[in-house]
Amino acid sequence: MMTRTSTVAPGLDASGTVHWNLPPAALYETAVRRSEGHIVSGGPFIAITAPHTGRSPGDKFVVREPGSEADIWWGNVNQPLEQPQYERLLSDVREFLAREQELFVRDVFAGADPDRHVPVRFVTTNAWHAMFVYNMFLRPDAKYLESFEPQFTVLHAPEMQADPDRHGTRSGAFVVINFAARTVLIGGTRYAGELKKSMFTILNYIYPRQGILSMHCSANIGDGGDTAVFFGLSGTGKTTLSTDPTRALIGDDEHGWSDEGVFNFEGGCYAKVIRLSAEGEPDIHATTQMFGTILENVVLDPRTHQINLDDDSITENTRASYPIYFIPNHVPSGRGGHPENILFLTADAFGVMPPVARLTPAQAMYHFLSGYTAKVAGTERGVTEPQATFSACFGAPFLPLHPGVYAAMLGERIERYGVRCWMVNTGWTGGPYGEGRRINLPYTRTMVRAVLDGSLNDAPTRVDPVFGIEVPASVSGIPPRLLDPRSTWADPERYDEQAARLAAMFRENFTHYADGVDSAVREAGPAG
């Protein structure tokens, strides 16, 4: 931890002051001095990232180079950037960062397994982004920092705009990964999630090649030592359901599964906080009142400096970044054993999927490759049409390799360790979005706890006639009617139409993967 002028990365000699691994209090002080944001009531720091208030997947590129070219899943997810364009962009990013300005360097690890962690150096122009990195990744001790050697370097120039004609980008924003150079270039956007997810993409390339399954999931451990894994896209409850006071949190978003068990990639959490309540999510809500938490795009009263978590006028994607130790019941090592249960979370806005169901191994593979959730069409009055979202492996935007690579690894582990698999719908019942209602969080928590305590392992089930999954006949504390979504609709025939429509979407989407799986998996989807 020091302040000095230095070479911060190969080819980058800074002419301004370089702040090395400042602690949170110093970063707070510096961020306020530089007018990067505000300190709010309770102690968090708030930053606004508009106009980019979410990731820019269309602005993400992978450099085409001989060492990785044959392995990359090229297409809309991994758009190629040619080497000459990358070299021009790298040169311009270095020139931008080398100007007479303050730079903030943060040296961290990704991967809680001490035998497999990846040292990463982040170089950024903003103190609050350096604090975000401190929160989100694993923090080496002072002795290790003295001889820190990064395996990857992230050069972060949020205020720099790319030139599409010169750099081959789509717009002024860019996230460019070069696996050969072990370098990431990020610019044109202040949204901090790009820092986190660019490294997730890198780990999704490194770890499978080492025989470790990388997963977009949360994980926790019960008092008996049983590990559970929760897959799900944004908004499905991945963070909420894994942050359970009755179980210890391993991590809320990214994990690896090695021959020894599950380990967290991160040292913090990045939770959505829109309409967060102290009653529904007490541990996460408490972090929004803590010194050290970074709040992104949360609305602030300029007079009182109180935040309004219900206000979505900037974005629905309001976020809190905080170290995992802010959650009282967490696992300090970031590691757990092989999972006994895997839960696939979906927020079905069509209102037709059962709230909990057991999956066969083939159905688990089918739904893992499908990666289904549904998003509402918008918040404008009268707009009620759901939009189906299919994201392979519940994380397609972060997969540099073909989804079949991750699916094959998951299937092998499910079989080897006898893992039980479940589907949990945290979405709508009694009708689609705009007509029905979202399933109550306490009900979902009750069903998840019944899954994890083994209550449903041998419970009687019925087979859902559309989706073919096994729905428990009863769950203690849950109204029986809720378990049969068709019975919650005022017009069952409309339910049938909506369920058939969603089933057809599943089948159409799975045509992308059908040739790469066996017949049992192909036949494990909704009935045609």
Closest by CA to 94, choosing from 15, 202, 191, is 15
As a whole number of angstroms, the distance between CA 210 and CA 161 comes to 36
User: Which of these is catalytic: 255, 319, 338, 522?
Assistant: 319
Can you say how many angstroms the Cα of residue 421 is from the centroid of all Cα atoms in its chain? 20
Active site residue 71: no
3-state helix/strand/coil string of 413-427: HHHHHCCEEEEEECC
As a whole number of angstroms, the distance between CA 12 and CA 4 comes to 14
Active site residue 15: no
User: Which of these is catalytic: 197, 330, 367, 486?
Assistant: 197
Beta-strand (E) ranges in 195-267? 213-221, 227-231, 248-251, 254-258, 261-264
Report the alpha-carbon angle 392-220-397, nearest 5. 20
User: Which of these is catalytic: 253, 283, 348, 464?
Assistant: 253
Instruction: Look up residue 339 and give its two tokens.
Output: 């999972």
Active site residue 438: no
Q: Are 249 and 361 in contact (CB under 8 A)?
A: no
User: Which of these is catalytic: 30, 227, 234, 288?
Assistant: 234
Active site residue 391: no
User: Which of these is catalytic: 156, 238, 247, 420?
Assistant: 238
As a whole number of angstroms, the distance between CA 414 and CA 221 comes to 18
Cβ-proximal residues to 244 (8 Å cutoff; 6+ apart), any chain: 220, 445, 448, 449
Active site residue 38: no
As a whole number of angstroms, the distance between CA 376 and CA 383 comes to 8
Active site residue 234: yes
DSSP state of 375: E
Instruction: Look up residue 320 and give its two tokens.
Output: 């809190």
Active site residue 375: no
Instruction: Look up residue 335 and give its two tokens.
Output: 């590691």
Phi then psi for residue 30, to 5 deg, are -70, -40
User: Which of these is catalytic: 19, 30, 53, 55?
Assistant: 55
SS3 content of the chain, % helix, strand, coil (to 5): 30, 25, 45
Residue 171: C-alpha distances to residues 174, 194, 311, 396 (Å): 7, 16, 29, 22
Instruction: Look up residue 306 and give its two tokens.
Output: 């109180």
Active site residue 167: no
User: Which of these is catalytic: 19, 52, 167, 216?
Assistant: 216
What's the chain's length in residues? 528
User: Which of these is catalytic: 49, 218, 239, 426?
Assistant: 239
Catalytic residue numbers, as ranges: 55, 197, 216, 234, 238-239, 253, 319
